[in-house]
Chains A and B, each alone.
Chain A
Amino acid sequence: MLQIVCIKQVPDTETRVKVGGDGRTLDPAGVTWILNPYDEFAVEGALSLKEKLGAGEVVVISLGGAGVPTTLRSALAMGADRAIHLKTDATAPDGLAVARALAAAIRPLSPGLVWLGKTAVDDDSAQVGPMLATLLGLPCATFVSSFALEGQTVRIEREIEGGHEQVELPVPCVVTADKGLNQPRYASLKGIMAAKKKPIDEQPAELGAPGLEPVALVLPPPRAAGRIVGEGAAAVPELLRALHDEAKVI
């Protein structure tokens, strides 16, 4: 079975984010790029299923600029067989545009399973998975924390408010991976060496018209300075009054 994993390059979660000169996108200077952590669960899900089945191919696909092959290589080092780079210079294309480009590239491959992370930790919009499934006309389970394939049926558990939902889907289908699905493997030295020789197929991304235009990107306001209301037990009444009347937290 052919499995496709859609991955995204995102800024390292330790990055101190800065707004770019255009005031609408991230300043890429000084940013360390990593594989989106939720996508690691997706890559692991595909690799462990391939091992269990003892056959098949895992293809990773990512959309973006010149930096993307580095992230594709890290998924290849984990064990994916080959990669597709959908090239574009567009900065921060919206979810629908990305889903359209992915759908155009994936449709002719007729995969059995398409994996994504449940969300990317940069824009945190969680759109592309269900959009892609809809465009491909495939059933889709999002926020998946448990996965098993039995015959041609995928049995999953997904996170919902206040509990888990158990769902069955027929293959082919789309799954978005949540934390708890598995423990992503580290790339071995052998895997890293092997990844250098694995093919990355470059294709132009068919983004189409954007569904959303970023107007401004704004950092949260800096935190105001704290205030010392007094010292020792004498400060308690004033502290209580401030917490109750000003902060309104008690």
Chain B
Amino acid sequence: MAILVFIEQRDGQVRSVAREALGEAARLAGAIGGPVVGVCCAAADPGLATLGEAGADSVLLATHEAFASYDAAGFAAAVAAAAKSVSPALVLFPATALGKDLAPRVAALVGAGLASDCTALAV
């Protein structure tokens, strides 16, 4: 099964927390035996091709002009749609202000439990 990772961008730049989350996902993917799929919401491609070296096997990009800044409902709908199409074992979010706002919305949309502020993960 895949691991889905939310790729946070700000002002059209991928934030470094996204690479940290991808690194952890790549480590867990070894145990689960599936691909690491990123999902990013942005107005335009924030340079996602560089995320391969951070651990992503592929990245889904949802673009909308409203995604230039944080659109909570739109981001949640896009990430939930990605989760439904990828059917991942796990969805990772960074514990940033944005991630902590977005993750509960996605969890409610897909009906999954949410563990906040994780400091260690094991499968």
By a beta-carbon cutoff of 8 Å, the part of chain A in contact with chain B is 94-96, 99, 124-135, 139-140, 142-143, 159-161, 165, 210-212
Contact = CB atoms under 8 A, between A and B. Distances in A.
A126 B104 contact: yes
Interface of B: 70, 72-73, 76, 96-98, 100-105, 107-109, 111-117
Contact of A127 (B72, B104, B109): B104
Contact of B112 (A133, A139, A142, A211): A211
Given A143-B101, A160-B97, A124 B117 contact: yes
Residue with the greatest number of chain B CB neighbours at <10 A, chosen from A129, A140, A210: A140
B115 A99 contact: no
A139 B96 CA distance: 20
Contacts of B108: 96, 99, 130-132, 134-135
Contact of B116 (A127, A135, A139): A127
Contact of A159 (B97, B103, B111, B115): B97
B114 A133 contact: no
A161 B105 contact: no
Given A96-B113, A125-B117, A130 B97 contact: no
B98 A130 contact: no
A131 B104 contact: yes
B76 A127 contact: no
Nearest to B80: A134
**Top 8 closest A-B pairs, CB basis?**
A211-B113, A212-B113, A134-B108, A125-B116, A130-B104, A131-B108, A127-B104, A131-B104
A211 B117 contact: no
Contacts of B109: 134
A197 to B, nearest CB: 37
Nearest to B106: A134
Interface of B (DSSP majority class): helix
Given A131-B108, A135-B108, A212 B97 contact: no
Nearest to A161: B97
A201 B105 CA distance: 29
A156 to B, nearest CB: 12
Contact of A126 (B72, B73, B100): B100
Contacts of A139: 72-73
A143 B104 contact: no
22 contacts: A96-B107, A96-B111, A124-B116, A126-B104, A126-B116, A127-B114, A130-B72, A130-B104, A131-B105, A131-B108, A132-B108, A134-B76, A135-B108, A142-B101, A143-B97, A159-B97, A160-B98, A210-B113, A211-B107, A211-B111, A212-B114, A212-B115
A131 B108 CA distance: 5
Nearest to A142: B101
Nearest to A130: B104
A211 B104 CA distance: 12
Given A96-B112, A134-B104, 6 more contacts: A95-B104, A125-B116, A126-B104, A133-B105, A134-B105, A160-B97
Contacts of B105: 130-131, 133-134, 140
Contacts of B116: 95, 124-127
